Chain A
């Protein structure tokens, strides 16, 4: 147990940690998490990029791998042998965008797959053909279709209306209409509205208040009232605040100190809380959170996509500033 909190980001350790992830085949965990493999590649790639180590993963191999996850219906699975799902399709498209390789796939075919998951009556998206619905999937559709330049394939207006149905009196959003506000779901709803350029439809002050109250005395952020802090909320909460121009409602120094205290100083990687086991999920969201907070030496991250800003500028165009 370290007594003095670390004062710096162990960039080299984190880079080495991420590079080592695909070599851990002697750990059961590696095999048990195969259903998150392509998401993991996106998380690792983004973290490396933000850490200033773009191009560390072999580009050609990465692109080939992503292509090997694609199904005949246009969607991507988590790994060869895993079924297509909207969340893994988003990761695939994000990786291809970062690698500047979107021209190597049939964008229309992917867009058709994603569009097929929208319920044209209500606007909501299913995760796959089995019908689970959640605001996370609406965000996924907006994220990847906007990267593909194919938002016109879906009913944007209906989807936006559905997102608004998930809004609560406390300013936050839940996974479905009527569900409790949750920072992760708020990110997906605000992200959807931001990509649709409809942020003016919600009350920024009310939401900003709910979000900033996620910060606890130890500097970390939780996801709901009366819950524990967790590094991944550094991303869900901070990016949402950034999208509504309220980042300054967070005590920056305290949050930076909390994220840094969750690093594994020996093996690299960032965990959910101090002294916990690190993983690539918390590593990317910790690093992306630090980037939003302007931590020195990191590349700038786009709060809507959790991808490097320069990639988004190139693929989607100039960002429209939040009013």
Chain B
């Protein structure tokens, strides 16, 4: 009913021969009698190996039939698995082995279906349910074993489709579950998961799913490394260099520029809003200004290199964003006595009370002239209908100081005369 990517000609009813139609009717009859058989077994509350096999047969034909998954879980709970008891069966006891075998069998059984239907919610959902049962029935070690094998499977699924939305979300759930079981040992998978995004990006730098995942991991990564100020600054620099290499190869790729914006803006904004997703919290104000200024120079150089305007859209948009950020930084006073993240940061930031509101020695008029030029080019690239309206709107809303997010600040620059 919600079909994707099936061509019309391959389906057209009119092209089906009488033989094909007979065949289809035959299939319908077989399918419907199977459904009737399963439904009748369920209404009689039949929970055993035979009915489990019956649901397998039906789900193989139609894995989207969510009700049948529910029945399957009822069978597992009421007819296959023993009643859940506390304490759990002893580790490596016969009972535990047999339960482990059942749960493992269930996961293996689903594998071919998952490969043929990688976007089926019901399938991913059932796997999670099976794995969650392992926590109820099995020793921590056995349960962890199943979750860890599942991580290998997700890796394989993402290897087949590197952007599978279900796969990435599922991966985070699986990792979370494994880490939860590791708490006692004080372990974490954050290094391994961060490395995984690096591998995925190196195989295809346009993988936005991997870049996105990175934004969710770096904060924790550095915290767990116990990274101090200098290590964090080095990390940021390495990350910028890693990204820039990709950008130089594929400057029209928005995945890269979205990550770029996160990287620069989340670390260099006057106030870091979400500390969990920041590499260098409490970076001194003057370093923020230096960082953004140096990025401006770098991007301006890239702009002057060859290439069509269309390939420079994201570069131009990022430049406009950087000017907005720079202006916000110039106008915001550094926080006096900001609490340092770690002890070595005890040096007090310099606060220049007499600092000129408009910044020292900066020709803002010339800066704005350039920005207006960039925005003109952006409107030409994006068109005056559609996307380009964003730039036109930003310029028009420019004076509204209430709107203080990073894009609108770019607009503030644009509108100033």
Give residues in A with beta carbon < 8 Å to B: 25-29, 31-36, 39-40, 77-78, 81-83, 85, 128, 130-132, 168-170, 174-176, 178-182, 203, 205-206, 208-209, 212-213, 215, 224-227, 230, 232, 248-254, 264, 267, 271-273, 275-282
Cβ-defined contact, B172 with A178, below 8 A: yes
Contacts of B394 in A (CB 8 A): 205
How far apart are the CA atoms of A85 and B66 in the complex, in Å? Answer: 9
Residues of A contacting B208 in the complex (Cβ-Cβ under 8 angstroms): 180, 224-226
3 closest Cβ pairs, A-B complex: A251-B386, A281-B2, A33-B1
User: With A85-B66, A179-B168 in contact, is A273–B215 under 8 Å at CB?
Assistant: no
Which of chain B's residues has its CB closest to A27's CB? B24
Interface of B is mostly: helix
Please determine whether B129 and A264 come into contact, CB atoms closer than 8 angstroms.
Answer: no
Contact B212 A249 (CB under 8 A): no
Is there contact, CB below 8 Å, between A181 and B385? no
**Does chain A have a CB within 8 A of B50?**
no
Q: Using known A-B contacts A215-B387, A225-B258, A254-B386, determine if residue A277 contacts B172 with beta carbons closer than 8 Å.
A: no
Question: Could you tell me if B258 and A170 are in contact, using CB atoms closer than 8 angstroms?
Answer: yes
Q: Is the CB of B32 within 8 A of A31?
A: yes
Name which of A33, A178, A272 has the most chain B CB atoms within 10 A of its CB.
A178
Q: Is B160 an interface residue (CB 8 A)?
A: no
Q: Would you call B365 an interface residue if the criterion is a C-beta within 8 Å of the partner chain's C-beta atoms?
A: no
Task: From the candidates B65, B266, B403, name the one contacting A35 in the complex (CB within 8 A).
Answer: B65
Does the CB pair A215–B386 fall under 8 Å? yes
Decide: A170 and B2 in contact? CB cutoff 8 A.
Answer: no
Q: Are B28 and A31 in contact (CB under 8 A)?
A: yes
> A205–B39 contact, CB under 8 A?
no
Q: Distance (Å) between the CB of B217 and the closest chain A CB?
A: 9
Q: Which chain A positions have C-beta within 8 A of B25?
A: 26
- A residues within 8 A CB of B209? 180
| Complexed CA–CA distance, A142 and B407 (Å) | 31
The main secondary structure of chain A at its interface with chain B is loop
Residues of A within 8 A of B255 (CB): 225-226
Contact B73 A170 (CB under 8 A): no
Docked-complex contact A227 and B7, CB < 8 angstroms: no
Residue in contact with B11 in the complex, picked from A34, A168, A174, A277, CB distance below 8 Å:
A277
Does A40 lie within 8 Å of B67, measured CB to CB? Answer: no
Rounded to whole angstroms, the CA-CA distance of A26 and B32 in the bound complex is 12
Known interface pairs A32-B62, A130-B73, A209-B390; 7 further A-B residue pairs with C-beta atoms within 8 A, sorted by A's residue number: A28-B24, A35-B67, A82-B66, A180-B169, A206-B405, A253-B385, A271-B3
Listed A/B pairs (27) with beta-carbon separation below 8 Å: A26-B24, A27-B24, A31-B28, A35-B64, A35-B65, A35-B66, A36-B64, A77-B67, A78-B66, A83-B66, A132-B125, A169-B215, A169-B274, A170-B258, A176-B173, A179-B165, A179-B169, A180-B165, A205-B408, A206-B407, A213-B254, A213-B387, A225-B258, A226-B255, A248-B386, A264-B8, A272-B3
Q: Are B405 and A226 in contact (CB under 8 A)?
A: no
Q: Of B132, B258, B385, which is in contact with the most chain A CB atoms at under 10 Å from its CB?
A: B258
Taken together as a complex, chains A and B put the C-alpha atoms of A261 and B71 apart, in Å, by 42
Q: Is there an interface contact between A170 and B385, defined as CB atoms closer than 8 Å?
A: no
Question: In whole angstroms, how far apart are the Cα atoms of A179 and B32 in the complex?
Answer: 38
Chain B, Cβ-Cβ closest to A37: B1
Per-residue 0/1 for B60-90: is the Cβ within 8 Å of any A Cβ (1 yes, 0 no)?
0110111100100100000000000000000
- Whether B24 and A277, one on each chain, are in contact in the complex, defined by CB atoms closer than 8 angstroms, is no
